Chain A
Amino acid sequence: MKEILISSLLGIVILTADILKLRKVVFAVVLLGLAALAGSCIMDWGHNEIPFAEKGKMLIFDNFALAFTFVISVVSFLWFFMTKESFSSNTTRTDLYALAAFSICGAVVMVSYSNLVMLFLGVEILSIPVYVLAASDKKSFVSNEAGFKYFFLGAVASAFLLFGIALIYGACGSFDLNIITEKITAVGSMPGLFIVGSMLILAGFAFKISVAPFHMWAPDVYQGSPTVITAFMATIVKAAAFGGMFRLFSTTLSPMLAQYALVFALMTGLTLIVANVIATRQTNSKRLLAYSSVSHAGFMLGAVMMASSMHYKYLIYYVFTYSIASLTAFTALNHVSVFQGGDESTDAFKGLVKRNPVMAGAVTVSLLSMAGIPPLSGFMAKYFVISNVLNGGHIWLVIIMILTSVVAMYYYLKLIIAMFTPLENAGRIAVSGAQKMMYVLMTILLVALFFGASALEVVKW
């Protein structure tokens, strides 16, 4: 209950701060709000709160929702910290902060819904601010293009989702997840409307999480948006979308998951192959990271595919480690490209080890983590998914996962080699002390989470 209040109030407070000329404190307010959000998740742990219960079960803050909210708030906290210096002018900063906060509120709704209407509301609250954020570099042509593209395709995806929800309502007569589940188990088989509806919902989600064959928008939008916004989309938006998807497919739609496992497996395999192969040909590092992000969506879809038998803690772990690694990579890319006058090619990274060793070290570790090299947390994350998929008996998918990991290593190494290639007459890329500490912190987190993976067994989920 507190979570939804905190996250929605946060956006309103930031907006008011702009009016009341309190721009100086807005950053502190954001951090405080997100810390409160994370704190309330810990306090409510295990309570299974159902806010506004007398109006019907709209939201439920069970451990699943709290865990995802916690991860989302921590990642947002890190995101605000990492990108603070990139929002240079104070005027737009408050607006953008407010938009981001509203989007986070949508993310909270999306992982805690207990009613399909709330799912749709969550998706929209999450997406609409991000459309604006994508186009927030008003004078840039590509940024406008990105916002436009994202909006149109996002709207189509939402339409799919809504149509799917409508059909499921038609089949079961309710939006409530529990009632739908009861109806389906009572009937014993899935009515045709239910199957079509859930397929449409799957397509809608596939758009949002950008898996093949619905991934086409992602590279363009990721490349066009301002880099800090790309980092937001690649981490927080994705985490929320996967949270929402896992909730639906681990409970209400789990009979559908069992019957259409092949569809999921094919989508996962296709995503991994397409994204990784195309990524090897990229010379723009932002686009390269965009494809890498799509390929990680493939892995996470593998986790959703096993949703009925797999515990969500493994998905949370994947989302968290992936978010940290990508946040580091995108922020560094932002620093480098700003310094290079907007150059985002892989060559822009040349000589980074001399120009800023801390940043180069952090990016190297985060790329190696994304590639799944032990002892970095990315290895554990991939391992958890792979072993669950293997237990599900999809050996060919495991082989695709492993082979594409080698391909992925190739393009990550391309960036790493660029960083370690000496460059004559290159100036230092200076970052503030706080920023430096953040890079160090991210590196430590990536290593610590590997050894801390056993904590997954300690927590009572």
Chain B
Amino acid sequence: MLALLLIAIPVLMAGASFLLGPKLAKPLAFITGIAELLLTLVCIWIFQKGDTGHLLQFNKQWIGPLGMTFNFALDGISLVMCLLTALVSVLVIYSSYNRSFRNPHVFYGLLLLMAGSMIGAFTTSDGMMFYIFYEFALIPIYFICLIWGRGEQKSQVTLKFFLYTLFGSLFMLVSLLYVYRFAGSFELSKMYAAGQAMSTAEQGLVFAGFFIAFAVKIPVFPLHTWQPATYDMAPTAGTMMLGGIMLKMATYGIIRLILPMVPDGVSEYGHWAIALCAISVVYASMMAITQKRYKLLLAYSSVAHVGLLAAGILSNNAQGIQGGVMEMLSHGILTVGLFFVVDILESRMGHDNIDKMGGIREVNPLFAFLFFAIVMGSVALPATSGFVGEFLLLLGLNQYSPILTAVAGLTVVLGAVYMLRSFQSMMLGAANAATATFAALTKHEKTVLIIVVVLVIVLGVYPSPILELSNTSVENLLPGVH
């Protein structure tokens, strides 16, 4: 029941936002986000108490003969993902609070709609419903990018983005339909059984279909080409939603669909996928080093981090998956922080060119300090949330293959190179004419950055609540994994 409520709140409020008009849009969206967050916390509390019964589940037949059900269930992994969605949505809404948009009611309405459909994907326990939510989340973000995006090329870029991801997700549809032929239902528990009963070759094909769909969304080399341009042209809030939550639907999909449904396929052919992820890590890190603009650098850095994330999860052991869950949360928060920094830089400098900045620390030490803390989280310094996630991911991957770990582990080294170098050239040194007038942070900007930094450090020092939350569910979902 509560799962349904989690989806209904943002979707209904999105409708309300469309109808009520621009004046109320921001407070409405913010209150919705807070309500969603509180409700998620209540769900977590119920779950911790051990009540997994009717409160957290909702089962209903939908289109019986075609095997579609209206099933939702909140387990530990889903709850972490809901927490991520609610938290990041609140941060995104709050961080855009002082920016003015055309038609804010439509903008925030679309944002809420997107959050609602992603919650749907995270909570459903029906394969077809997952597909529907996964696909639908594309529509709001497409319009956010098309209407509020920047640049001459935006219609081409959004077109590529949309067609690319649609093309990818249709492979998932084929895989789902293929397994459905044996399962006779889209209920995940039945699909798991049917999938596991298939031959290894069949499992490999199904795995390939799913992986292509997720690899486009994550994105994994060589299917990543839509990503940097889209991140660049999207409005800041849109980029945060894309990088913070949306791609997590794909990594969550690996945990929820691929690993339990086609375990033999993963153990037989998984190394291809993991190798691609490892290549993706190195390639994207190299690309990030060469970038002149900070937003593009962050886009490539995101490809590198999620490459490791996907590789760790696909290694199919408890550390890898646990690390994946942790890293998804951490990466979401860090993405908001980093892109908010870009937003601050752009609002003051009018550009995000790394070389043309410098010495901002002298002018505005507080900003530089908070920025540095976020950068530290991103390069996975111990005692930040990034460290917990990436350490576990590498640990998991190491059990699978030490060589691939060495390759994928380069993300930590190369990440330090491009993050620190860019930080150095933007913040340190002597202030030039352009940066000398760098205005102080507003109260609102300070709040956002401080919240992000606190979250990064708290989750880094005390990650066990999150890990415990997902632990039992990982074991339930993948009984063979340890």
Q: List chain A positions with a Cβ less than 8 A from chain B.
A: 368, 373-375, 379, 383-384, 386-387, 390-391, 398-399, 402-403, 405-406, 409-410, 413-414, 417, 420-421, 453-454, 456-457
Assess whether B66 is in contact with A420, with CB atoms less than 8 Å apart. no
Partner among A399, A417, A454 whose Cβ is within 8 Å of the Cβ of B63: A454
What mask results when residues 324 to 344 of chain B are scored 1 for a CB within 8 Å of chain A, else 0?
000000000000000000000
Partner among A375, A406, A414 whose Cβ is within 8 Å of the Cβ of B170: A406
- Flag whether B177 is at the interface (Cβ < 8 A): yes
Chain A: CB-nearest residue to B170: A402
Chain B nearest CB from A374 CB (Å) reads: 4
Assess whether A456 is in contact with B63, with CB atoms less than 8 Å apart. yes
Assess whether B136 is in contact with A406, with CB atoms less than 8 Å apart. no
Interface of B is mostly: helix
Per the CB 8 Å criterion, the residue count for chain B at the interface is: 28
Assess whether A413 is in contact with B136, with CB atoms less than 8 Å apart. no
**How many cross-chain pairs have Cβ atoms below 8 Å apart between A and B?**
60
Q: Which residues of A contact B173 (CB under 8 A)?
A: 402
In whole angstroms, how far apart are the Cα atoms of A406 and B135 in the complex?
13
Chain B nearest CB from A218 CB (Å) reads: 26
Can you list 28 contacts pairing A with B, beta carbon distance less than 8 Å?
Answer: A374-B131, A374-B132, A375-B132, A375-B136, A379-B135, A384-B66, A387-B66, A387-B177, A391-B181, A399-B174, A402-B173, A402-B174, A403-B170, A405-B170, A406-B170, A409-B162, A409-B163, A409-B166, A413-B163, A417-B155, A417-B158, A417-B159, A420-B146, A421-B155, A454-B61, A454-B62, A454-B63, A457-B64
Q: Give the one of A373, A379, A403, A421 with max B CB within 10 A.
A: A373
Assess whether B170 is in contact with A457, with CB atoms less than 8 Å apart. no
- Flag whether B42 is at the interface (Cβ < 8 A): no
Chain A nearest CB from B269 CB (Å) reads: 20
- Flag whether B479 is at the interface (Cβ < 8 A): no
Assess whether A373 is in contact with B177, with CB atoms less than 8 Å apart. no
Q: Which residues of B contact A386 (CB under 8 A)?
A: 177
Chain A nearest CB from B167 CB (Å) reads: 5
Partner among A368, A390, A454 whose Cβ is within 8 Å of the Cβ of B181: A390
Q: Which residues of A contact B166 (CB under 8 A)?
A: 406, 409
Assess whether A373 is in contact with B163, with CB atoms less than 8 Å apart. no
Assess whether A373 is in contact with B181, with CB atoms less than 8 Å apart. no
Q: Which residues of A contact B61 (CB under 8 A)?
A: 454
- Flag whether B139 is at the interface (Cβ < 8 A): yes
Q: Which residues of A contact B163 (CB under 8 A)?
A: 406, 409-410, 413
Q: Which residues of B contact A413 (CB under 8 A)?
A: 159, 162-163
- Flag whether B147 is at the interface (Cβ < 8 A): yes
Assess whether A398 is in contact with B132, with CB atoms less than 8 Å apart. no
Chain B: CB-nearest residue to A391: B181
Q: Which residues of B contact A457 (CB under 8 A)?
A: 63-65
The 5 closest A-B pairs by CB, nearest first: A374-B132, A417-B155, A402-B170, A406-B167, A454-B63
What mask results when residues 139 to 164 of chain B are scored 1 for a CB within 8 Å of chain A, else 0?
10001001100000001001100110
